[in-house]
Structure 1
């Protein structure tokens, strides 16, 4: 009788163990969301957001990582203020002046020389082909470090903004190169 109970017990345990087994899924999932991810769509509504929106708004006053705010507004007053007081943060790095100017030249040749010319004389290929007229010569303008950076950031007259094409450090490098071109034109 005892052997029958032992056999029955083993047989019962085997039936219970095999009845819970599913070949398409693991037997027991301690954390099922780690095995089978929940299928979220990119812009679907979610109960995770208390305001019912698809995504949370950033906190007020926050800025995106790696971006520094530019404190001068896009106006004539902002231009004049930047012209008077804005200074380059990379100009004081005396060890890298040559490499910054070289990088600035490369960027200037890509973005600026088409209109302003390789010498800064306002005789770029688009001016020679009369696509744009009235591109200024750097020699004829009262420009400073701040005014150059401000114009690259916001644009001026028919020149558009280059803030989305080149980052902050690259804008300062182009500014350094434009200052060098201006000095060469004034000689």
Structure 2
């Protein structure tokens, strides 16, 4: 008889727990149930497009203060003009050591970013030319659209061109970091001698 009461009590407890789970789970259709570590998806930080009463204009995304430079940004103080191009030619020199590792990196970067137009050997015979686009001048035999032979281009002229682009070539400043540009220039100087 005592064992029978234990089974009844245990059965009643199981039925009560099951009923309470069913009742509480049906209460709110939008509820996801218990929250484990809610701070992982309900963050306290403001989203950039969210209203923020901490600033006078009420915007979370603020314009940086005047004169500030982002971390890791390298300023290039030569304008995108013919005069800026000529001044860069005289004043801008490579900042990287002429090492085999930098040369190899420059070759890889050139093959990925430059060879589609300039070709693997810098002769202006890349894939886009084969599809009907006008060829860029050869590094070793061609003439620059800004005057002078391509084989005589200096570090500054090439850096300026990579940074701002010229003619059909757009700027590669967003694709190549300053150090990567110098590595490409190192490889382009090799192509100028072919």
TM-score (norm 1): 0.71
Say which SS state the counterpart of residue 192 (structure 2) adopts: helix
Say which SS state the counterpart of residue 110 (structure 2) adopts: helix
Counterpart-to-counterpart distance in 2, 1:66 and 1:56: 20
Kindly indicate whether residue 108 of structure 2 is the aligned counterpart of residue 102 of structure 1: no
1:45 is aligned to 51
Kindly indicate whether residue 125 of structure 2 is the aligned counterpart of residue 119 of structure 1: no
1:85 is aligned to 91
Kindly indicate whether residue 186 of structure 2 is the aligned counterpart of residue 176 of structure 1: yes
1:161 is aligned to 171
CA RMSD of aligned residues (A): 2.1
Counterpart-to-counterpart distance in 2, 1:80 and 1:137: 20
User: What are the ranges of 5 or more consecutive residues in structure 2 without an aligned counterpart?
Assistant: 1-33, 143-149
Kindly indicate whether residue 144 of structure 2 is the aligned counterpart of residue 138 of structure 1: no
Say which SS state the counterpart of residue 112 (structure 1) adopts: helix
Q: How far did residue 71 of structure 1 move?
A: 0.7
Q: How far did residue 84 of structure 1 move?
A: 1.7
Q: How far did residue 41 of structure 1 move?
A: 4.3
* Contact 2:118–2:126 (CA under 8 A) maintained in structure 1: yes
Counterpart-to-counterpart distance in 1, 2:62 and 2:48: 13
* Contact 2:49–2:59 (CA under 8 A) maintained in structure 1: no
Write out the 4+ residue segments of structure 1 that deviate beyond 6 Å after TM superposition: none
* Contact 2:117–2:135 (CA under 8 A) maintained in structure 1: no
2:3 is aligned to none
Q: How far did residue 132 of structure 1 move?
A: 1.8
What is the aligned residue count? 146
Change (3 A) 1:150 1:37: closer
TM-score (norm 2): 0.69
Change (3 A) 1:115 1:39: closer
